[in-house]
Amino acid sequence: MEMKIKPNLFSTLMYPTVSLEESVGLDQLLSVFESDDKFVPTLWGHNEMIRLNYNRNELIERVSLKQPKFSEIYLHRDKTVRYSGHFDLTLTKRSFLSFTFDKSMHQKYWSTYFMLSDQIAEIVKPRFGVTHIFWPAQTPWKTEIERMQKWMNLCSYPVPVKFIPNGPLGLGMRTYLGGDVLEMFDREILSDIPAVVTDLSWGGIRIDLADNPWELDSEELLNNWMKVMQHLEKAHLFAIPSFDRDHMGVAFSPNSLWRNYLGR
């Protein structure tokens, strides 16, 4: 009997335009995680090594005292629906929020996970953000489909070392655009893509690869992603990919839009 392939990672990455150093923004973000029993943090810290029992009031008080001043906050959950993540408190163009959820998350929680993503986005109002369910990619790739799978996975994980110099790498299962990044995109082009585009109350837009993207299997996800990326190819909105000769990875370089943006 053939084993069913399952996702190996759930990820939400965003570049906020709102400071989380003030108690109001921080309080709102913590409220989002506490709004569902399955997502309440169990541990917190102000760096990757420190893990204290989660206490919302203590966390907010420690941040507000600024003695010492924390630059980032880490949240973890070690119960059902396990996750780890962190976010910057001070606001700069490099401000970053990242949460990864364990592959053990039951499918019945996937829709709630995407709802959590929307609630986080409403608070931090990201310039750019991606929430994605990752399916295993073959490395090295041997077929064109495997190459596309690798490319999609890397596009859907825009960590600062790739995003800051190169701009948006591509779309993910759910993509957020806002602020200065949204201004670079032609809304007319976006309104015509084979995806679900939604204007959001905070001024950004959300692009989903399907009405309910969490219901896509790995094949459907890749097919939808390829259609949208092909549609947007001539618009030169995303970083330029360069595929390794050894079929192991993908490098990126900025397009003309992002080079001009960096040069301002």
Question: Under a CB-based contact definition with an 8 Å cutoff, are residues 8 and 103 in contact?
Answer: yes
Is pLDDT of 218 > 50? yes
| Domain definitions of the chain by residue range | 7-126, 137-264
Q: What is the dihedral of CA 170, 125, 218, 242, to 10 degrees?
A: 20
pLDDT digits (tens, 9 = 90+) for 66-94: 888 999 999 999 998 999 999 999 999 89
Q: Which two tokens stand for residue 131?
A: 């929430």
Angle subtended by helix axes 23-34 and 56-65, to nearest 10: 160
Q: What is the mean pLDDT of residues 30-51?
A: 96
- Give the model's confidence band at 5: pLDDT under 50 very low, under 70 low, under 90 confident, else very high: confident
Q: Which fold has domain 7-126?
A: TATA-Binding Protein (3.30.310)
Is pLDDT of 3 > 70? no
- Give the model's confidence band at 1: pLDDT under 50 very low, under 70 low, under 90 confident, else very high: very low
Please indicate, yes or no, whether the overall pTM of this predicted structure exceeds 0.85: yes
Residue listed under structure tokens 């998350």: 105
- Give the model's confidence band at 2: pLDDT under 50 very low, under 70 low, under 90 confident, else very high: very low
Report the relative pairing of strands 240-243 and 205-208 from DSSP bridges: unpaired
Nearest to 31 by CA among 70, 75, 67: 75
Q: What is the mean pLDDT of residues 33-45?
A: 96
Return the pLDDT at 189.
Answer: 83
Is pLDDT of 4 > 70? no
Q: What is the mean pLDDT of residues 167-187?
A: 93
In whole angstroms, what is the distance from residue 182 CA to residue 45 CA? 33
